[in-house]
Structures are given as C-alpha cells and as structure tokens.
Copies of this chain bind each other. A is one copy, B any other.
Amino acid sequence: MTKTLIFGHKNPDTDTICSAIAYAALKKELGDEVEPVRLGEINGETNYALNQFNVPSPRFVQSVSNEVSEVILVDHNERQQSADDIDNVKVKEVIDHHRISNFETSDPLYYRAEPVGCTATILNKLYKEQGVTIQKDIAGLMLSAIISDSLLFKSPTCTEEDITAAHELARIAEVDPQSYGLEMLKAGTDLSSKTEDELISLDAKEFTMGAKKVVVAQVNTVDTEEVLIRKEQLESAIKNTVDEKSLDLFVFVITDILTSDSTILSLGDDAKAAETAFGVKLTNNTAVLKGVVSRKKQIVPQLTEALQG
C-alpha cells in the first residue's frame, strides 16, 4: 500500500490542521501509511494549540499529485478550497462538516459528513467506532479544533455533540476548556503584525454561488475598531483581489469573539447582495451583523440565496 496524504482546506484554520493530524494518527493506529500535510501557513491560534500540546506542524505542500495518487480530505470538499491539483488524484475519503458542492468522484468512496460544528467531533466518533484510544496530545488538538470552530461553544453551528465531545477530550487532554479556550482564541486575534493583504487572506474561502464567484474572509478580534482603523487600506487590498481573481463579491467579516457580533466590509459588483442577504443597509461598504459569528451557518447560505434569487 502506498502513502496517502491527509489534508484540510487552503488558508488552514485550527480544525483543518488539527483534524488532519488527528485523523492521520487514527489511520496510523489502524496500520495505514498516511501523512498529514497542510496547504498554507499556520495561523496564530493554531500555532498556540500546537505549541501547547507539543505537536509539530504538518509539512507544507504546494501540490499533491507529484507525491501520491490517493488523498483523504478533512474539513472541506469543495474543489476550489482544496489542493490545486486535486483533480489529478483519487479522493479516497472525506471527513467533513460542510455543505457538499463542487465535488465529484468517478468511484465510490468513504464520505462521512455530519451537520456538527467541527470535524474533530466526527473524528471523536470514528476513534470510538474503531475502538482506538485517543492520545493526550491528539485529544488536546481535537479540543482546540472544537473550541476554534465553535468560538468556545458560542457559535450557532455548535451542537450538543460538539460540547459533549469537547468535554470528553478536555478530560483526556487534562485542560480546562474555558480558560484554555479563551487563551487560544486570544492568541488568534493578534492582528497588529499582519499586513492588509494577510488579513484578507488569512481565513478566506472561495465559493461558487449560483453563477457568481465569491470570497468570504473572516478574522476574529477582541477589538473591532483596531481592525476598522485600517479600513481604507483593507478596501484597496480587497479591490485588488476582486480584480485579480475576477470575483463578483468579496465579504470581509470581522468577528468580535467577546460580543459575538460581526462587522462586514462588502465589495465587488455584487456588494449589495449583502444587504439582501442580511437585511441591512451598507454604509461606506460596511454593516454590523448582530449575533453573527458563523460563516457557514449565518453568512454563506444567506449570500447563496441572495445571489441565486
């Protein structure tokens, strides 16, 4: 059996990195030859988690088909979020918690998606189904993934299953989820050292919505004003990206992890779609979305509907 690479989406977040590592650990226990890899830079929050549990960062790869013929995807399925050469390899498995879109195979595969808040919550089940014990460091990373995706259980994407899994994992990892979680989230909000180009690409995901090409990028912060002070430069960076990638819409979402509100910057020919989608009025391209923290549940479906309507 030849090696299989396991990876999450581009612009990796904590769930994508930690789930790749955790699923690779499970597969290794089952005797498979696998390696977790990553398609982009590790962010500050993920870095905090990896350091905390003393796990090395997965290897960065630019392409996958030069190394392997089979891959396993975690935390994504949409082709444009995956490796550039994803069409040249066989996708053997997918473990995910997102909508299914722009994904197609010619052969049957193992596809496990559940409408839970985090890929790691599904992995926690897979470990149990396979009867494999989760190691302490891996449990810590899986807990970190759940805290990240659920914004410490505050996101509407967070389910009972996520909370139960997080507490099981916290016991194995021997940390307190609340205090560890807040520290980890804060580690991800240090945006001062980032350029505007970095801010808008750090956690950017591209979507096909109807006939439109859309990017939704998100940053977490404990101080929205600190980000908005750079509004002019952010807009110019976003406009460049819209031109370069021929986007119809770019929505930049600044999420306050303490208040659980978001401020958006909406640019592109279809910028007004944000008004329809969220029932708000854009002022100087921005609007506040009260209680909105989840791109997946509170932003993407609404924008998709607005752009298809």
- Contact between chains at B111 and A107 (CB < 8 Å): no
Q: Does A41 contact B (CB under 8 A)?
A: no
Chain B nearest CB from A295 CB (Å) reads 12
Among the listed B102, B103, B301, which residue makes an inter-chain contact with A107, where contact means beta carbons less than 8 Å apart?
Answer: B301
Q: Does A97 contact B (CB under 8 A)?
A: yes
Among the listed B98, B106, B109, B112, which residue makes an inter-chain contact with A108, where contact means beta carbons less than 8 Å apart?
Answer: B98
B residues less than 8 Å from A111 (CB atoms): 100, 111-114
A304 to B104, CA, bound (A): 12
Among the listed B102, B107, B115, B296, which residue makes an inter-chain contact with A110, where contact means beta carbons less than 8 Å apart?
Answer: B115
Of residues 82 through 131 on chain A, the ones whose CB sits less than 8 Å from some CB of chain B are 97-115, 129
- Contact between chains at A105 and B115 (CB < 8 Å): no
One complex includes copies of this chain to the number of: 2
B residues less than 8 Å from A115 (CB atoms): 107-110
- Contact between chains at A108 and B103 (CB < 8 Å): no
Among the listed B100, B103, B106, B109, which residue makes an inter-chain contact with A305, where contact means beta carbons less than 8 Å apart?
Answer: B106
Instruction: Give 28 A-B contacts (CB < 8 Å), ordered by A residue.
Output: A97-B108, A98-B108, A99-B104, A99-B105, A99-B106, A99-B107, A99-B108, A99-B109, A100-B103, A100-B104, A100-B109, A100-B111, A101-B104, A101-B106, A102-B104, A106-B304, A106-B305, A107-B115, A107-B301, A108-B114, A108-B296, A108-B297, A109-B113, A110-B113, A111-B111, A111-B114, A112-B113, A129-B129
